[in-house]
Chain A
């Protein structure tokens, strides 16, 4: 089945450690995204990538880094510079807007990061 796979589902990190969240898609989508979800705040965009080897900062990119070496993969690294990293992280990809596609986002099941 086509979809987006995120791993790990749960991750615990000590303060000062970097962690990398994996995101793989087999939907053949060009665009991929990372969102952060905190209670009562909706989803906020961290980084997005329109094509391979290219990515842009979203609204809350500080303390995060990404790479896009393959179309299928868009890993997110949460660095020790991120002051409040405990959150639920969602990876997504999107179809182009050309009909019959609607440009909607397809999401993975998320990774919950807890800093101890």
Chain B
């Protein structure tokens, strides 16, 4: 069965600190996609990144970076120099290729204080 675990329920940091959100997944599929979504207070989830299971290159986009390690089944998300606008709930998600079911973790609520 597929499963996504985000062990950190809430994280609180002060602005400009770096913060890493952990994600561990389980799947028997050999090919799959991993995603991160951001849910601001408005409620709608916003797509941040997708990673294919065969591409373990880390990715950086501005202050955001993602570390995908297949050996540990982890797909961690780091925000560098956090800002108040980064305050949101962040979800890690998993889907097999060609499938229609995306499995979400429980989410990590990030508070960034000024």
* Residue positions of A touching B, CB distance < 8 A: 4, 31, 33, 35, 40-45, 48, 50, 56, 58, 88, 90, 92, 94, 97, 102-110
A-B contact pairs, 6 of them (CB 8 A): A40-B9, A42-B91, A42-B106, A102-B47, A103-B95, A107-B44
CB within 8 Å for A50 and B100 given contacts A103-B33, A103-B50, A105-B37: yes
Task: Count A/B pairs, Cβ under 8 Å.
Answer: 60
Give bound CA distance, A94 to B93, whole Å. Answer: 14
List the B side residues contacting A97 at CB < 8 Å.
97-98
Q: Majority SS of interface residues in chain B? A: loop
Interface size on B, residues (CB 8 A): 24
CB within 8 Å for A41 and B106 given contacts A48-B100, A103-B95, A104-B35: yes
Scan B33-51; emit 1 where CB is below 8 A from any A CB, else 0.
1010100001111110010
List the B side residues contacting A4 at CB < 8 Å.
44
